[in-house]
Structure 1
Amino acid sequence: MALSSTGADTTGVGPSPAPRPNRGLLPLLLAGNTAMYALYVGVPGMLLALQIEAIDPAEKVANFGLVSGVSAIFATVFNPVAGALSDRSGRRNPWILAGGLLAVPVMLLLGGVDTILLVTIAWCLGQAVMNVYQAALTSVVPDRVPPSARGRASAAVGLGLPIGSTIGALVGAAFSEDYRTGYLVFGAVVAATAVLFTVCARERKTPAKAPMPVRAQLAAFGSALKEHDFRWAFIGRALLVLGYFAVAGFQLYILKDHTELPAGLSAEAAVAILMPVNGVAMVVSTVLGGWLSDRYDRRKLFVGASAALAAVALVIPAASTSWTAMLAFSVVNGLGFGCYMAVDTALVTLVLPKAEDAARDMGVLNIANAGPQIVAPFVASLIVSASGGYTALFLAAAVLSVLGALAVRPIRSVR
């Protein structure tokens, strides 16, 4: 769910402190992540789901799972690769700009296709360019923010999720009958934000790295996972994200087929209500979680507690199919997931193995974001098909969140 980096070195040899962040960097991080999450939520969560349903209503769950899973493979591959390339170049801004600008033609292409195969190809390209953008943008926090301010910086990044999700849901609902224009709007917003960020957030070029043989590069990607604390942070993130996206990816279909909506309320309109509710809860918990984790220097406590709260949230719609239950789920889930993403991001930046490989290693961590999205749609569609509904899916996701909460306990170098 993110230019020279800092982090706690588990070997005891820490990197040099990060320089003081540029004035205005945190608002720019907020804007950049808001635009990114608006597209990530509005496109697959609304426009893509409606487009796939329109193409083949009878097989919408299976087709959506297929498109989401295959495209997530591209996200998994492009994120660490783009991060390593930006490390080698010694620059981040050009990669942010390139990924943002390419979002426009790719979204235009996605809006113009009308078969499942072409939708899959177009959305794969969308995932590719957006993860080039994301990999460089994610590296800003470890690169330019000192450890003492990581919680606040991560909160700025984390706020992009609730705000972007709300914008994405509202824009997606507004253009639910006009896919092509909706896709283009999302692409244009990302492109404009990329231009704003690269113009206003100056960076000092770091020395470029010498090219590495392909085999050495592949080995380097896995080297971070040999570090004890980074590995457990990776596992915890992967488990929670798997549970989250198993449910979140099918939200529109859950509202159509599982939830008892009030008379006159469409599923599309329900999404436009739930996302702002969820977003407000996430804003509150993101800001408080980031600030409190800085003040008390207790990252693990906040990460574990917020993951456990996310599990509680998932039990609510499993126990009741009412609209009230979905509203309650949105509030509690927002409180848990918002705090988790803010504080866990700060925690991860403190367990990065090497400062000079920050973007690459953050890209490896982002496999824990993108990788579960490969598995989640397939697993979710199988659970729904086998159980005949979404209750079992909520319970399975809750178990994964509990395991994600427990995964931070073995981390040693961060409290």
Structure 2
Amino acid sequence: MTTNELIEPRAHAAPSAPRQRGLMLLLLVANASMLAVYMGVGSVLLPLQIAAVDPAHKVAILGLVGGVSAVFATAFNPIAGALSDRTGRRNPWILGGALASLAGLAFLSTVRTAVMLGIGWCLVQATMNVYQAAVTAVVPDRIPPSRRGTASALVGLALPIGGTVGVLIASQTSDSITTGYLTFGALVAGAAVLLTCSFRDVPRPAPAPAVPRRQRLAAFLSALSHHDFRWAFIGRALMVLGYFSVIGYQLYILDDHIVLPSGLEPAAAMAILTPVSMAAMAVSTVVGGLLSDRWNRRKVFVGASAALAGLVTVVPVLSPTWTGMLVFSALNGLAFGCFMAVDTAVVTLVLPRAEDAARDMGVLNIANAGPQIIAPFVASAIVTAFGGYSALFLVGGALSLLGALAVLPIRSVR
């Protein structure tokens, strides 16, 4: 899965206030269903399938499948976004992406080899990112600037809601993989039908004249020459890499590293840990954002939350128990939620030029998407090389601590 920022210069034909509220609620549903697929399938069903196909090499296979599929996700998102921009319509891409994902998930439920699992998950990632690109564009298209903060907050809640729902569905259907995949496909298709039937497309202006590719690339990357933006980019990349290196292997960690209570299976344990982590994340996202506004201090929240994320990885190493994992999940959720909320505010304050805000926030998306591509390969290599998950926790923690240090050189934000 990739993260996409919701910043654009203006909205087109903004609906009335009651319609805006209805639209934002449906956007929450659309984004939550998408994240349910990413979390439920990517964190539970797919690892279970891989373990069933080749238990001896499951770590390496999950790393390879996760890394290659993330490349597909990263590539298809901007391509689909550009195509929907060019056609001037979002609904066909939302509905088409969701229905194609339903077909991809149905196909994935039928395969029984590692190669076909990889192909199936790449197809799902590609089609889900067609859906994601179009859904993301609805906010700048239809929500006026004065309401973007509320819309972004609601969309932000999609992660804890969708992540929790996704893992709960996956854990309940872990004994029937086909049922699980079809449930997720129906969920995202239903959300797409609901959104597209409730809100029709609105006319959009013609796309700007084409700019030479080399000139576009130079302009796109120019923000990284700005001192403060560059350090914010580095800190985000390190934090995301540390987080997803550990989280992507959580099912295998529960199976092979943590001593679970008698009768508690790894999939069922995920169904407990994920709501704990996501609830903590939702709380710290709101509280961290509000307090950083009230005190007009950003760096201390970003640095402290990244440092906390680094330190708590020691807990499951010293105490590879169910209690230790619960403590880790709660504190890690608190740390990551606060970091992402306040760090986004930091980035908006260090943008080189206000008129290039959308483009430069797109650059920041590389710091979100790139580490998610690398994380499965990094995690697989660490676990294979060191023969266990303790090293993975420690490396993930070290990356987060480096992310905390990266905020120190930023000069223009307190």
Alignment TM-score, normalising by the size of structure 1: 0.86
| Cα drift, residue 98 of structure 1 | 3.3
Distance 1:143 1:226 in 2: 30
Contact preservation (8 Å) 1:88, 1:210 = no
Matched position secondary structure for 1:205: coil
- The match for 1:176 is 174
Contact preservation (8 Å) 2:306, 2:336 = yes
Distance 1:204 1:298 in 2: 41
- The match for 1:118 is 116
| Cα drift, residue 347 of structure 1 | 4.2
Distance 1:3 1:240 in 2: 17
Distance 2:90 2:409 in 1: 33
Please state if 1:233 is matched with 2:235.
Answer: no
User: What is the CA deviation profile of residues 265-285 of structure 1, one whole-angstrom value per residue up to 9, with x for unaligned ones?
Assistant: 111111111111112212211
Structure possessing the higher relative contact order (Cα contacts under 8 Å, 6 or more residues apart): 1
Q: Which runs of 5+ in 2 are unaligned?
A: none
Letter in 2 for 1:191: A
* Number of equivalences: 407
- The match for 1:185 is 183
- The match for 2:330 is 331
Letter in 1 for 2:76: F
| Cα drift, residue 146 of structure 1 | 7.1
Q: How big is the alpha-carbon RMSD for the aligned residues of Structure 1 and Structure 2?
A: 3.1
Distance 2:400 2:56 in 1: 31
Which of 155, 158, 178 does residue 156 from structure 2 map onto? 158
Could you tell which deviates more after superposition, 252-261 or 69-78? 69-78
Distance 1:337 1:102 in 2: 32
Change (3 A) 1:245 1:390: same
Could you tell which deviates more after superposition, 64-73 or 82-91? 82-91
- The match for 1:2 is 4
Could you tell which deviates more after superposition, 148-157 or 285-294? 148-157
Contact preservation (8 Å) 1:299, 1:414 = yes
Could you tell which deviates more after superposition, 53-62 or 82-91? 82-91
Distance 2:63 2:343 in 1: 27
- The match for 2:378 is 379
Distance 2:130 2:336 in 1: 24
- The match for 1:63 is 61
- The match for 2:49 is 51
Letter in 1 for 2:192: A
Contact preservation (8 Å) 1:3, 1:139 = no
Q: How does 1:15-34 map to 2 (within 5 A)?
A: 22-34=20-32
- The match for 2:259 is 260
Distance 2:329 2:149 in 1: 24
Distance 2:290 2:117 in 1: 41
Change (3 A) 1:383 1:74: same
Which of 107, 131, 134 does residue 132 from structure 2 map onto? 134
Distance 1:216 1:277 in 2: 46
Change (3 A) 1:244 1:48: same
| Cα drift, residue 358 of structure 1 | 6.3
Distance 1:354 1:136 in 2: 26
Distance 2:352 2:186 in 1: 36
Change (3 A) 1:3 1:289: closer
Could you tell which deviates more after superposition, 109-118 or 202-211? 202-211
Distance 1:280 1:47 in 2: 22
Q: Which runs of 5+ in 1 are unaligned?
A: 7-14
Which of 86, 98, 101 does residue 99 from structure 2 map onto? 101
Contact preservation (8 Å) 2:7, 2:361 = no
| Cα drift, residue 39 of structure 1 | 0.8
- The match for 1:317 is 316
Q: How does 1:191-270 map to 2 (within 5 A)?
A: 191-200=189-198, 205-270=204-269
Distance 1:231 1:139 in 2: 26
| Cα drift, residue 79 of structure 1 | 2.6
User: What is the CA deviation profile of residues 180-213 of structure 1, one whole-angstrom value per residue up to 9, with x for unaligned ones?
Assistant: 2211221221222233334445656244222344
Please state if 1:406 is matched with 2:405.
Answer: yes
Contact preservation (8 Å) 2:232, 2:347 = yes
Could you tell which deviates more after superposition, 147-156 or 174-183? 147-156
| Cα drift, residue 2 of structure 1 | 3.0
| Cα drift, residue 41 of structure 1 | 0.7
| Cα drift, residue 65 of structure 1 | 0.7
Distance 2:352 2:193 in 1: 31
Distance 1:230 1:29 in 2: 30
User: What is the CA deviation profile of residues 321-364 of structure 1, one whole-angstrom value per residue up to 9, with x for unaligned ones?
Assistant: 01100000111111111222333344445555677876665444
Alignment TM-score, normalising by the size of structure 2: 0.86
Letter in 2 for 1:69: G
Contact preservation (8 Å) 1:69, 1:378 = yes
Distance 2:231 2:215 in 1: 24
Q: How does 1:362-377 map to 2 (within 5 A)?
A: 362-377=361-376
Change (3 A) 1:304 1:85: farther
Matched position secondary structure for 1:23: helix
